[in-house]
Amino acid sequence: MLDPTPPTFGIEAISVTKRFGGFTALDQVSLRVRPGSFHALLGENGAGKSTLVKCIMGYYRADAGEIILGDQQQVIDSPRTAHELGLGMVYQHFTLVPSMTVAENFVLGKTRLPAVLNWREELARLEAFFAAMPFRVPLDVPASGLAAGEKQKAEITKQLYLGRRFLILDEPTSVLTPNEADEMLGLLKRMTRDGRLTVLMITHKLREVMAFADEVSVLRRGRHVGGGRVGEIGPRECAELMLGNAEIRRLTDRGGVPGAPMLEIAGLSADDDRGHPACRGIDVTVRAGEIVGIAGVSGNGQRELVEALDGQRPPSGGTIRVHGKLYHARRDEMHDARFYCLPEEPLRNACVASMSVAENLVMRDFDRPPFAFGGWWLRPSSFRAAAARLVERYRVKTSSLDAPIGTLSGGNVQRCVLARELGGEVAVLVVANPCFGLDMAAVAEIHAQLMEARNRGAAILLVSEDLDELLELSDRIFVMFNGRLVHEAAAATTDRVAIGRHMAGH
Ligand SMILES: Nc1ncnc2c1ncn2[C@@H]1O[C@H](COP(=O)(O)OP(=O)(O)OP(=O)(O)O)[C@@H](O)[C@H]1O
Ligand SMILES: [Mg+2]
């Protein structure tokens, strides 16, 4: 367990400026996090939140300004130095080593490792640590086999296991259910109250800020634009500070009634990475002009289901039909059926980080007219123009079309992938947690786009851990538990409580 002896400490960033080439990501930002406090950092996608905390962690070197730790100015030149000073960070993108087990990830995260590891002792220590936690994560499976929610819990508990005294969290609850998030944040809050920990948390969820944070700071376009003590400052003021005078898009009305069956999934089963059955006997039909939601706590087989539909995982049984025809998720079938899919963790699963924004935006169709002719002569000018239109329509913030997509902020990567998958004329769309990491203006935009695609006749299967999102968008909702669909309800006549009960297996 965490050693209570060394006290926690506060951090002050003074007039920090960070540029990437000619672009100023942070412009003289000052921020004070008091020792033992829970501080929330808010801001729209691309505001500079991740950049600021990466400067604190020594992942980036600020161009100007200073960082004071406790009462001393510190030069934090690398994450390793930060770790030695007691700082830990959970990044927006997962950082567990996929091929190592969760236990190995925890133990090998230590700054100082002994020459010879006594695994039995380490495992006993891990067991003792988890015995005192309100939840656990599987320790003996490769990190790659965890669902997004489990990974997120593992990332956070790993930092606690490593005994950090100042914890920075970049959107720590984006794929946790409200209950899981409350459990996790409640634990961290108690640790700050006990003076064992100071928390700086980046989030887009105002509900969490109001429920757990003591203080809040807001960034907009690389500047600190306001903040204060929670209670003295409310959700409305926070939203105004975040958005400036940008408008929030209203959800398009649900129009028309669902038509003919478009996506028919019958008896579909798929195994997880360890070869165990992950989803079993899934029967769902999605009609044209219908959004069918699948609710569930992450790790109940949703990921394997989406991967089976996307052709990334061979089904172990059952059939998929699109427009009545058998479908095997091959690339040519996807194209012909106008079948689009947005998996979770898009930077890893749906992009090439080192390729440009433009290349990533047209990746689906780069070898087809109008982008190519005669089979393989590519027409860069035509795909640049198409990419430019998507960037504008989906308001992707990027310095240029040629920037590697990996340099975009997390929310802007998500927008790019959505632009690519929603930009074409969609007949069938499978989406998993489409609003992961998006700010509220972007969430409103994506929700409106999904509803418009539905109203134009698309059949949409929406797999999400966000109940509010499911209730808002779906026509029908299923609950997935332990690999099976255990409950079906019309969205108009069900509520959070009913769905939540089935999510927990009751
Ligand atoms: N390595 C980099 N190279 C070039 N530009 C970068 C790099 N990292 C960040 N940027 C730019 O700096 C700006 C701020 O990015 P940052 O990741 O800090 O945003 P954020 O507030 O964390 O957004 P989000 O909510 O989407 O995660 C963005 O416009 C981004 O494109
Ligand atoms: Mg970020």
**Amino acid letter at 118?**
N
Euclidean distance between CA atoms 165 and 21, whole angstroms: 34
Contact 82, 74 (CB under 8 A): no
- Residue 5's pLDDT is 56
Ligand 1 pocket residue status of 48, Cβ below 6 Å: yes
Identical fold between 11-97+165-243 and 252-338+425-506:
yes
Query: Which of these, 262, 415, 425, lies nearest to 335 by C-alpha position?
Result: 425
Per-residue pLDDT 10s for the chain (506 aa) are 444 457 899 999 999 999 998 899 999 999 999 999 999 999 998 899 999 999 999 999 999 999 999 988 888 999 999 999 999 999 877 889 999 999 999 988 887 777 777 888 888 999 999 988 887 888 999 998 887 778 888 999 999 999 999 999 998 877 677 778 888 999 999 999 999 999 999 998 888 999 999 999 999 999 999 999 999 999 989 988 998 877 777 888 999 899 999 999 999 999 998 899 999 999 999 999 999 999 988 788 999 999 999 998 999 999 999 999 999 999 889 889 999 888 777 777 778 888 999 988 887 665 554 544 454 455 567 778 888 988 988 888 898 999 999 999 888 888 888 888 876 688 999 999 888 778 888 888 889 989 999 999 999 999 998 888 999 999 999 999 999 999 999 999 998 888 888 887 77
> What are phi and psi for residue 248, nearest 5 degrees?
-95, 130
Closest residue (by CA) to atom 2 of ligand 1? 407
- CA triple 192-197-200, angle to 5 deg: 85
- Whole-prediction pTM: 0.79
Q: How many CA atoms lie within 13 A of 493 on its CB side?
A: 4
Atom number, ligand 1, closest to the C-alpha of residue 204: 25
> In this predicted model, what pLDDT tens digit does every residue of 441-463 receive, in sequence order?
888 888 998 999 999 999 999 99
Ligand 1 pocket residue status of 24, Cβ below 6 Å: no
Helices (H), 138-225: 148-161, 178-193, 206-212
Is CATH 3.40.50.720 the classification given to domain 11-97+165-243? no
Superfamily of domain 252-338+425-506: P-loop containing nucleotide triphosphate hydrolases (3.40.50.300)
390 forms bridges with which residues in the sheet?
Answer: none
Q: Measure 408 CA to ligand 1 centroid, in angstroms.
A: 5
Euclidean distance between CA atoms 431 and 414, whole angstroms: 12
Query: Which of these, 35, 32, 30, 34, lies nearest to 14 by C-alpha position?
Result: 30
Ligand 1 pocket residue status of 411, Cβ below 6 Å: yes
Give the ligand at the shortest distance from the Cα of 413.
Answer: 1
Ligand 1 pocket residue status of 203, Cβ below 6 Å: no
How is the chain split into domains, by residue range?
Answer: 11-97+165-243, 252-338+425-506, 352-420
Q: Measure 226 CA to ligand 2 centroid, in angstroms.
A: 18
Length of the chain: 506
Q: Measure 459 CA to ligand 1 centroid, in angstroms.
A: 34
- Residue 377's pLDDT is 53
Query: Which of these, 232, 215, 212, 214, lies nearest to 224 by C-alpha position?
Result: 215
The CA-atom distances, in angstroms, between 425 and each of 335, 339, 406, 435 are 11, 9, 27, 21
Euclidean distance between CA atoms 156 and 168, whole angstroms: 10
The CA-atom distances, in angstroms, between 505 and each of 14, 481, 487 are 49, 6, 10
Query: Which of these, 458, 459, 345, lies nearest to 410 by C-alpha position?
Result: 345
Ligand 1 pocket residue status of 51, Cβ below 6 Å: yes
User: Which residue in this structure is represented by tokens 């700071």?
Assistant: 217
The CA-atom distances, in angstroms, between 299 and each of 142, 145, 179, 302, 395 are 14, 9, 15, 7, 32
- Residue 473's pLDDT is 97
Cis ω on the peptide bond leading into residue 404 (within 30° of 0)?
A: no
Query: Which of these, 214, 260, 225, 232, lies nearest to 427 by C-alpha position?
Result: 260
User: Which residue in this structure is represented by tokens 């998929």?
Assistant: 320
Q: What share of the chain is helix, strand, coil (3-state, %, to 5)?
A: 35, 25, 40
404 forms bridges with which residues in the sheet?
Answer: 356
- CA triple 26-94-57, angle to 5 deg: 40
Ligand 1 pocket residue status of 496, Cβ below 6 Å: no
Ligand 1 pocket residue status of 45, Cβ below 6 Å: yes
Euclidean distance between CA atoms 40 and 206, whole angstroms: 10
Euclidean distance between CA atoms 12 and 69, whole angstroms: 7
Report the 10 Å Cβ neighbour count for 448.
14
The CA-atom distances, in angstroms, between 24 and each of 17, 20, 78, 91 are 7, 6, 21, 22
Euclidean distance between CA atoms 351 and 433, whole angstroms: 16
Euclidean distance between CA atoms 285 and 303, whole angstroms: 18
Ligand 1 pocket residue status of 360, Cβ below 6 Å: no
Closest residue (by CA) to atom 17 of ligand 1? 409
Query: Which of these, 500, 496, 435, 493, lies nearest to 463 by C-alpha position?
Result: 435
SS (H, E, C) 439-451: CHHHHHHHHHHHH
Give the ligand at the shortest distance from the Cα of 414.
Answer: 1
- Residue 372's pLDDT is 47
Query: Which of these, 24, 21, 22, lies nearest to 65 by C-alpha position?
Result: 24
